[in-house]
Amino acid sequence: MRILTIVFLLTCLFGCSNGQTKKLDIQRNNSVLSVVSAIDLKFPLRLNETNLHDKNSTIQLNDGIISKIEETIKEYATEIEFYDSTQTYKDIYINTIRLYDSLQTIFVVLLKHYPTGVVNSKVLFYDNVEKEFSDKTFDFNLWALYNFEDGEFIPTNLKTNFKITTPEIELVDYDQDGVNDFKFVRLWHNGTFNAIHTKILTIRNNQLETLHFDELPIGYE
C-alpha cells in the first residue's frame, strides 16, 4: 500500500510539473518583445520613404515609454484575438517611429494583423513638458496604402493607381493658435468605395481632440 501511495504522489508531482512547464512555454511564446526601440524621424512622415533598418536613426527609449508601447502591443493582440500559443508578439509588431515636436512627441506603433499581415498602427501622444501620455490612443489603419514585405513598406496598387503622394502624418496649425496640430491622411477602401480620409488632431489638457475630419471620394480617372 505504501508503494502504491508513493507511485501516486510521484505521478501527481510529475503531472503538475509538466503542466506548469507547458504553461510557462505558452507565456514565454506570448511574452512582449524583450527590447523595444524606435526609429527617430522628422515630420512629415511618408512610410514608403522610411528605412526601418537605419541604425543611425534607431534610438533607445526609457522604461516608461517602452512599457506604454508594450501595453499597446498587448491591447492590439487582444483586439485581433491573437491567442495562438505557437506565435509571439513578433508576429504582429513591426517597429515604432518617433516623431518629435516641441510640445508633443508622437509614437507610431506599427503593427500587422495575424495571420493576414495587413498593416495597421496605433499612435501614442506624449507630452514633452508633463512627461506623460495622453489617455487615448489613435487607431491609424494603413492597410489600403501599404503592404509590409521583407521589412519594407510597399505602396499598394490602390495607392499607386490613385496617385496618392500626400504624407501620412504632418504638422499643421489648423486653428492658427501658434500650436502645432497633427494631420493624418489615409485611404479608406471597402471593396467598392474609395476615399481619402483626413483627420486633424490636437491635444488639450492631455485629451485627444478632433479639430477636423474630411472624406474625399476618389476613383479611377
User: What does each C-alpha distance from 99 to 25, 84, 87, 108, 206 come to in angstroms?
Assistant: 36, 33, 30, 8, 18
d(CA 163, CA 155): 10
What's the confidence (pLDDT) of residue 88?
Answer: 81
pTM: 0.84
What's the confidence (pLDDT) of residue 6?
Answer: 43
Q: Which residues pair with 202 in a beta bridge?
A: 209
Nine-digit cell string for 53: 533598418
Judging by beta carbons within 10 Å of its beta carbon (0-12, 13-18, 19+), is residue 212 exposed, middle or buried? Answer: middle
Longest dimension (CA), the chain: 87
| Residue from 208, 210, 155 nearest 186 by CA | 155
Strand 93-100 and strand 37-41: pairing?
Answer: parallel
- Divide the 221 residues of the chain into consecutive groups of 10 and give the mean pLDDT of each group: 45 43 35 77 97 94 95 93 78 96 97 94 97 95 96 96 97 96 97 95 94 92 55
List the alpha helices (DSSP H) in the chain.
2-29, 63-79, 157-161
What's the confidence (pLDDT) of residue 220?
Answer: 59
